[in-house]
Structure 1
Amino acid sequence: MIYKTCKDCGEDKPVAEFWKNKASKDGFAYYCKACFGRRNGRSYRKKQAALGKEARAYRRHSDVPERMKYCPHCKEIKSVDDFGSNRANKSGLAHHCRPCHSEVMREGKRRKHGSERNYLLKLRYGVTEAQVEEMIAEQGGVCVICLRAEPKHVDHDHLTGLVRRVLCFKCNGGLGQFHDDPELMRLAANYLELRGAHARRMRIEIGAPVFGGPGRVRWDPFWRTRGDAAQSARHYHLRQKYGINDDDAKWLSELQVGYCAVCCDLPAEHVDHDHESGAVRGLACSGCNTGMGQLRDDPVALRRAADYVTGRLVRRVADADGGTRLSLTVPDVDPATVPKGGWKAFWEEDGQYRKETLPFDEELDMPTWGDLDEDGVPAPG
């Protein structure tokens, strides 16, 4: 083994303890790696002091035991298991331990973006927190669909990525359950009003659009005890909650051919019932059942949600000052002038308008046949 004397510490060490240096005669540095590091450390700290900065005390990387790593934030040597992975680093580990990594990321977001919420809004939707607050104020501080809850969730078009408006938690979730499909929401509104194909089929079969419910015990006294020996747990659950039994559920599933009573696309998994009367309307898939629940089983909210995703709900109209403002209902009213809880007066009228008017029913600004010349071109003026 070849040895070399370090000019700083004066010790004879193996040449493996010296960095290579082509400029020297023997091809190795004059100082051992430990002394070389201390020299560089002193030079670096001297330059930092001249700039008015304070650097941490010098520490050699080789002083860290195997399977351990130094965290520069908490200044502790910890097991590598306490560090997350980062393929961009040579070691494959993150610079900071897990608790410090989260704190450093939060501090960076606050420093660069003002807040973590502002960072996430810009990252996900391309808008700032100030722009969201401006949209909320323009909406009158309410969700544009239900007009009752506080808007907290930025909603965007999943196809284009463009931000639409700010909604409450339930309305935002309801849109997702219906996959932003306006026709499916209108089908659900008709289903809740017992006007759809499923309700018509029920009337043909049993003479009523719903059945079961708590009142069934009064008109069918033998129903609760008929054949209840050795019944399944589902039988008793259905009997107690919906006023139907396992045989009723099977009959209903056969009537619907196993598919959802609303969308008719997915398997029927859940018993859907009227929360006021307790009567069973039909069997629905998970998405339709949850979506109707999040939109409060309200046909008006469902039709407003359908018009919202098609761009018919939120309109921009001229205001008295020569600018523009939002219009959320028919009849039109300035959202900024409606007090909290004051939308109820417009709710029913707006719901009736959307029930009677579909997108293709609206009067279009098109020339009539009387306005066309003999070549089929609109006449001037």
Structure 2
Amino acid sequence: MADLREQIDMTHRTCAVDGCERDHTAKGYCQAHWREWRTKGVAGKSFPVLTVHTCTFSGCEKPRLSRDLCQGHTQQRKLGKALAPLRSYHHTGLRDEQGRKRCSSCKRWKTIANFYPKARHADGLTGYCKRCDRDMRLRRNYGIGVEQYGAMLAAQGGGCAICAVTPPEDSSLAVDHDHACCPDRKKSCGSCLRGLLCEDCNRVLGMFRDDPARFQSAIGYLTGSCP
């Protein structure tokens, strides 16, 4: 504590970071730089050398947030999960000599065109490539991966299972499933998948609520055979 007082003149009412003229509120920092130091362990380009209390989880070097744990391990505890090492994202912005980026999932080096833009990331791109992102979404919502999706699409001749229209290069067909089995329209157990549909056909099924009687009535109306 004595060293801290020597480094920071507590009678000086402005922030200890060079160039910052805001009043200090804690540890000699203004509110913004104190929050930056509290979460990142640093504050601005020039700051006093303060003692940063790190997380007590073995091998974790992140600043301590609550009850001796960092933010990530605190979140694990809140969710009732067993404490485990946090995934490192430091490599997601690296590039090789050809300017390619390495996918965090498949670990393959791919061109920038294979990643979606994401403004919140340091390099402006997602950590997962488009293929892995698609694979994770399919597995999370329908219990299949991109390989199973490709097999279903090939079995349908590359087009919609109803109208046979092929999707544009920058889009894909919707995965249709039996809503009587899984009422959630965005998720399926994986065993009730019916096929891949274009946007129009998928919308029609939803509007007709998968009722065959409505489709028969619509056919009769279109063919002029209604009584």
Q: TM-score, normalised by structure 2?
A: 0.42
- CA radius of gyration, larger in: 1
Q: Which has the higher contact order (CA 8 A, sep 6+)?
A: 1
Q: TM-score, normalised by structure 1?
A: 0.27
More helix by share: 1
More strand by share: 1
